[in-house]
Amino acid sequence: MKRLVAVFICCLALTVGGTPLAGAEPFDHTLTDGPMTFSWSVGDGVLNVKLTGKTEGWVAVGFNPVKMMKGANFIMGYVKDGKVTVTDHTGHAERNHKADTKSGGQNHASNTVGSEKGGMTEISFTIPLDSQDANDTIIDPSGMTTVLLAMGGGRDSFRSVHTFRSVHRVTLSSGASEKVK
């Protein structure tokens, strides 16, 4: 009986409302491009994400920009002294972004987990597919989603410029993807 209870508690700890937490493995799909890996699973109204980058700086993913960075919903994170910082940004210009909280929105990244070791930074988080925040785009898992991947080099600061970036078109529900540039 104790073993059954322990298994139940373990499984309960890895889910919220039946949806796997971002840090819980495995993810359903993975896209690797150069020094970055984007892994994800679609849950009940949420997207569970893991980003890994060969950097001691930040890693980020953006969803559905209108033009370049403008209009994209960015989730960015870094790990400093063992503490993970993950924040929700909006692309307010073609080449710039700022925290949703500075634009009247909210940080919708939850279940944040992160680590930095051996020159690799990894963050995991959960975001709603439709946060109903004017700064965030609605993510349709069965439709085509433009995904921006980026990472900064060596500094745990969102002000440092990216050292890597790429653009992909992804169907999140199936994992089908194509690199745009």
The pLDDT tens digits of the residues spanning 33-79 come to 999 999 999 999 999 999 999 999 999 999 877 776 665 688 999 99
Residue 7 lies in a domain: no
pLDDT for 70 equals 61
Confidence of residue 128 (pLDDT cuts 50, 70, 90): very high
Split at pLDDT 50, 70, 90, the class of 158 is low
Q: Is residue 165 part of a domain?
A: yes
160 alpha carbon, distance to own chain's centre:
18
Residue 57's nearest CA partner among 123, 149, 156, 164 is 156
Does residue 130 surpass a pLDDT of 80?
yes
How many structural domains does the chain have?
1
pLDDT above 60 (res 23): no
pLDDT tens per residue across span 67-110: 766 656 889 999 999 999 998 866 545 555 555 566 766 778 89
Tell me the residue range of the domain where 69 lies.
19-179
pLDDT band at 155 (very low <50, low <70, confident <90, very high): low
Query: pTM of the prediction?
Result: 0.80
Q: Which two tokens stand for residue 164?
A: 């890597």
Domain-located, residue 14: no
Return d(Cα 134, Cα 119) in angstroms, integer: 36
Whether residue 3 is contained in a domain is answered as no
Q: Is residue 84 part of a domain?
A: yes
Q: Is residue 103 part of a domain?
A: yes
Answer whether residue 161 is part of any domain: yes
- Whether residue 163 is predicted with pLDDT greater than 60 in this model: the reply is yes
Whole-angstrom CA distances from 93 to 51, 73, 172 are: 24, 12, 25
Neighbours of 103 (CB within 10 A): 14
Residue 59 maps to a domain: yes
Look at residue 176 and tell me whether its pLDDT is greater than 80. yes
**Which residues lie below 8 Å from residue 87, measured CB to CB, with a gap of 6+?**
75, 76, 77, 99, 100, 107, 109, 158
The CATH number assigned to the domain holding 30 equals 2.60.40.1210
Summarised one tens digit per residue, pLDDT across range 138-150 is 999 999 999 999 9
